[in-house]
Structure 1
Amino acid sequence: MDYESALAYLDEHASYDKTGRVDSPSVEPISRLASAMGDPHLAQPVIHVTGTNGKGSTVQIISRLLMAQGLTVGTYTSPHLERVNERIKRNGESISDEEFGEVIAGIADMEAITGVRPTYFEAVTAAAFRWFADVAVDVAVIEVGMLGRWDATNIVDAQVAVVTNIALDHTEFAGPTTVDIAREKAGIIKPGSAAIIGETEPDLVQIFRDEGGATTMVRGDDFETVDNSLAIGGRALDLRTPTTIYSDVFLPLHGAHQGDNAAVALTAVETFFAAPLAEDVVHEGFANVEMPGRFEVLGVQPLTIIDGAHNPPGADVCASVFFDDFQPEGRRILIVGTLRDPGEMLAALRADEFDVVHACTAPSPRGVPGADIAKAARSLGCDEVYVHDDVEAACKAAMKYADSDDAILACGSIYVAGAAREPLRRFAN
């Protein structure tokens, strides 16, 4: 199977991606596929990461720290920004088109043998497990796709289970309270897992303790971000783990929340090794972290940024970084598309504080029409609002009239960030 055929196969199996529904949440289908393949998900130790926001950054920091320690690291994340290969990486390098076609062909063969028709996410997850086993990674860092307990990634038996934080998201599948969300995410904690909990709400923390992992370490009690300062190109951090205080660590990511993710990630890696890390390993690992599409600065004149925040808590953080850390002096220009209630997202993004809003339809079957987003923006008090059929048209319009001291932010969905990256990068360069 070549790369294009693999993409066609996945598209035929897309369900949630097109409808936003999960009809029968269960790990049983992927368990059957994995069993037929010889259980490749058990071929290496795993650090498993869930949470409402911050999963992607935490996974990348963990992966870079493990790589700095000299391990060969498989990293599985979702969704992708521009190409599906980005989801499956070995030592930071995406799986090649040829290898991706081969492993997806293997999943198609398993479908024929087992009679199990996987979803898009199940197929890519199974492919990642197969490839990691084939290339013999030393450790896999796996990001949960949705919630935790019945997520396709949860067939792993993680040595370390990580929860970044809890907020309301995916309440159509688990809710309506954060307690319900926490119970679902706690499902990644297995009897032998060490649990690293970034959440601090006592009632929610107790849910994770009750899940019965081998040990539980909680932000504030066992680890914390002692100092978290704005630095050129990122954050300057002092981090306390259960064993050590690491000082003057530079993380090339934007936003104070990344300091919180850093403390979680560092504690997870220490726990994996059951030992503190050498100072040079910590500094090297953090310095090499990259997060395309997560408050990624593409240019500075005008300031041009994309961000993949897809829910109100993430949008609120995005707006805080944009307005409070960067403090743009010229016109503030928002390019926005979303898959969810535009009123909630625009309020969290502080859309009324932007001078211009370019509303567009995200490139997804679940994308909210740009006209509906524009209507919501006007109801919030936004005066200069334009509607576009797609992200590229919105980017072109924003770029056409932007001056060197203006600031452009494209956000609202990872699909918008991905689609905006190339046109905005061309403009920024």
Structure 2
Amino acid sequence: MSQVERVYAQLLARAPENKMEPRMAPMFRAMEVLGEPNKACPVIHITGTNGKTSTARMIESLLRAHDLRTGRYSSPHLVSVTERISLDGEPVDDETFVRIWDEIAPYLDIVDAELRERGENALTYFEAVTILAFAIFADAPVDVLVLEVGLGGITDATNVANGQVSVITPISLDHTDLLGDTPALIAEEKVGILKPEGYLISAVQPMDAAEVLMDKVRELQVPVAFESLDYKVLDRTMAVGGQLLEIQGQAARYDEIFLPLYGAHQAQNAAVALAAVEAFLGGGQRELNVDLVRDGFAQVTSPGRLEIARTAPTILLDAGHNPDGVRVSAEAVRESFGFSKLVLMLGILREKDAEAILYTLREEYGDLVEDLCLTQSSSPRAIPAGELASLAVDAGWPEEDLHVTENLEDAVEWCVGRAESEGDLAGGVLVTGSITLVGEISLLLKREGGQ
């Protein structure tokens, strides 16, 4: 067992990621005993339902283009836990990850003991990883931290930070059992990251959610910029390997921006990211250097988000874990890839709305997809492939079009075979659903390719 694996095992021994607790006191106590690493640098804090990670990576890249040393905290990870904690655009190195954990572990033991004495649960997996991230960023140190919420906002472990800029990407229904079953209720949770003397940057939102955000802005008397009102994508055209954008920011218009990602949703994320960096660097009033903006966007990557993992046939990896995510990805696939047919590989985690995802996939891809492979990742939260097949039939997928397997190598082989059937050179494979499935398929393909 490597040292990183040792630390990861210790983290996994805690309450799992889907058992995040709606509490803040333990996090503030941990920050206190560690000397408040949450206050070590300015923070851009990001929440929302879809697009958080891509937007965070864009903000990070723009800041790095301006010669700032960045930290980025995001979740979940695709392959390695170290991906969650990035320094200067790269996952934290193994030595630093292990060293800082070993330094802070005794202090976490103190907090755990205090919690147990009060009859409360010890720090969870997500709380512990978040504490580790703050400690790593303080140790580096970094000039600015791009901080992605894990779930919700107001009681998320990351909310011990005071965001100088708070970003809310599009809000839709997800985690409704924890956050509420309307956009307005979810918005109340997410706008909890907005702080006095902060600055709110929001994507276009459902009307009831937007009203909640505006109520909070008025209460705190902070500046706000809404997509379409204060900034927006003016134009976008398809380009080899991505798209070319023209964005109206808060302070200026920026043209000839190449974004090496696909889809209107990524263009929207780019506009949000640009507005956030304008707010951070110049209070939304100062024009950014357009060459630096172009350089920053040109360097953006977003693994597992319509990522081309292999060609001949093309295999796309896309972590579409809710209906709205499926819809925007489907639009991007149709717009950016000329597939004659598409084979879907799907795995879904237990806490997600599998029925709605399956229905949306059939609705969005029905004329393009004839074959659906149902499988599962190694996560204990994964819906068994056989159970997922029953749900697929209930959602209207013809049983004869389904292939069910728990073996991921078999799943890849079957999907590639179907995509290439009858000598079709324009067929493709889309791996979607849980990020755990996307991560495991990504690793499998890299191993098969000798990378």
Give the TM bin, normalised by the shorter chain: over 0.9
Letter in 1 for 2:12: D
1:277 and 1:392 mapped to 2: Cα distance? 47
In structure 1, the partner of 2:442 is: 421
Asked if 1:5 corresponds to 2:6, the answer is: yes
2:353 and 2:168 mapped to 1: Cα distance? 26
Contact 1:304/1:424, CA 8 A, preserved across alignment: no
Contact 2:322/2:353, CA 8 A, preserved across alignment: no
Question: What is the deviation of 1:7?
Answer: 1.0
Consecutive unaligned residues in structure 1, runs of 5 or more: none
1:37 to 23, 28, 34: 34
Q: What CA deviation, in whole Å up to 9, does each residue of 1:67-110 have, x standing for no partner? A: 00000000110000100000101111111112111222234211
Question: What is the deviation of 1:191?
Answer: 0.8
Asked if 1:408 corresponds to 2:429, the answer is: yes
2:313 to 302, 314, 318: 302
1:291 and 1:169 mapped to 2: Cα distance? 21
RMSD: 1.7
In structure 2, the partner of 1:14 is: 15
Question: What is the deviation of 1:311?
Answer: 1.1
Q: Normalized against structure 1, the TM-score is what?
A: 0.95
In structure 2, the partner of 1:313 is: 324
In structure 1, the partner of 2:47 is: 50
1:129 and 1:240 mapped to 2: Cα distance? 34
Letter in 1 for 2:305: R
CA shift in 2, pair 1:396/1:109, >3 Å:
farther
Q: What CA deviation, in whole Å up to 9, does each residue of 1:35-78 have, x standing for no partner? A: 10000010000000001001011100000000000000001100
1:416 and 1:50 mapped to 2: Cα distance? 23
1:428 and 1:98 mapped to 2: Cα distance? 27
Asked if 1:197 corresponds to 2:207, the answer is: no
CA shift in 2, pair 1:426/1:356, >3 Å:
farther
In structure 1, the partner of 2:119 is: none
CA shift in 2, pair 1:12/1:43, >3 Å:
same
2:397 to 364, 367, 381: 381
CA shift in 2, pair 1:392/1:121, >3 Å:
farther
Secondary structure of the structure 1 residue equivalent to 2:179: coil
1:119 to 107, 120, 124: 124
1:84 and 1:99 mapped to 2: Cα distance? 13
Matched-pair identity in %: 38
1:373 and 1:327 mapped to 2: Cα distance? 29
1:142 to 144, 147, 161: 147
Secondary structure of the structure 1 residue equivalent to 2:325: helix
Contact 1:319/1:348, CA 8 A, preserved across alignment: no
1:360 to 375, 389, 401: 375
Q: What CA deviation, in whole Å up to 9, does each residue of 1:316-343 have, x standing for no partner? A: 22222223431301x3211100012322
Secondary structure of the structure 1 residue equivalent to 2:5: helix
Q: Where in structure 2 are the equivalents of 1:192-271 lying within 5 Å?
A: 192-211=197-216, 212=220, 214-271=222-279
1:391 and 1:144 mapped to 2: Cα distance? 30
Secondary structure of the structure 2 residue equivalent to 1:364: coil
Consecutive unaligned residues in structure 2, runs of 5 or more: 116-121
In structure 1, the partner of 2:348 is: 338
In structure 1, the partner of 2:23 is: 26
